[in-house]
Chains A and B, each alone.
Chain A
């Protein structure tokens, strides 16, 4: 009696194309969203440098005020607002709360989260403006 041993069938392995993100609009927007974190990280690094300088006394503190940096800051603010909006909007999808066994509508959760964001921003803004006078 002979036993025939068959080799395992050869498969063609999947390889992700380098330009996968350019193949669909949704993927491109996702990559754009992710890359907006890079300028935000750079801006925050610069903020840390300025905080470190400020800790050495007023004479060492020289905030960057060039028009280019102001324009960069405005763009980064736009990115930060966009990320905050998408993140907080997600709260309505992922947070599950119930009152008396009834689920709270996602719209109410989103409203509460955005309301908290607005109040927190107002408080931080007030503190910054009040103590900088």
Chain B
């Protein structure tokens, strides 16, 4: 099977180029990550890419497979056979080397929404439990499935055009904590998610939700947050805790 992988050596190349490899396709369960590992082990050890768990949990092997953002551990060769597969680094991010992108911008944005439980006053460990009903958990459960794979950022043309956009995953995770009954950090997150480059930059392309490998719906999180922030602004006492 033919694999066309993007190569970029910052010390030699002025722009990314494509290199073609032929790999044996002998097992129906082979995924694109297996093909890349075969290339690295048997054909060209200089090919660089990120990967870790091989089971769609760590979110580190996201790449563009035939121009669609996918986890390479979750993209089966049988779905593309006999056509060649083009593997590119995730769109909308600077390329460090070959298929490795610079994720600093995403990590900075993720940290800016403080995706952890914020309490105004911490209760000492062992003092009491933070109990939640099933309904309360259902409010945010799907948003908590995000694995930070950045496929949604690669699929988002708004982020591609305006790199200042907070983006889908960061907003979905902010929503996950804002909806958590244990959390009291909404007012700390609002200045980030409510600004012009936050939720209001989104024009609802919707592709972020289509490509998410974990079934998270970031587009829904963004639209819900738009409505919530508007209601907080419009309704009397909307800004109270």
Contact = CB atoms under 8 A, between A and B. Distances in A.
Interface string A80-98: 0000000000100111100
Contact of A13 (B13, B94, B223): B94
Interface residues of A, number: 23
A85 to B, nearest CB: 14
A101 B134 CA distance: 11
Contacts of A101: 133, 135
Interface in A68-124: 90, 93-96, 101-103
B220 A21 contact: no
A11 interface: yes
A26 B207 contact: yes
Nearest to B157: A20
A23 B205 CA distance: 14
Contact of A34 (B92, B97, B203): B203
Given A90-B223, A102-B135, A12 B160 contact: no
B8 interface: yes
Contacts of B196: none
Contact of A26 (B133, B206, B227): B206
Interface residues of B, number: 34
B16 A30 contact: no
A38 interface: no
Contact of A103 (B92, B96, B135): B135
Contacts of A10: 10-11
Contacts of B138: 103
Nearest to A10: B10
Given A34-B203, A96-B139, 20 more contacts: A9-B10, A9-B97, A11-B10, A11-B94, A11-B96, A12-B8, A12-B16, A12-B94, A16-B161, A21-B157, A24-B67, A24-B207, A30-B157, A90-B204, A90-B223, A93-B223, A94-B223, A94-B224, A94-B226, A94-B227
Interface of B: 8, 10-11, 13, 15-16, 67-68, 91-97, 102, 133, 135, 138-139, 157, 160-161, 203-207, 210, 220, 223-224, 226-227
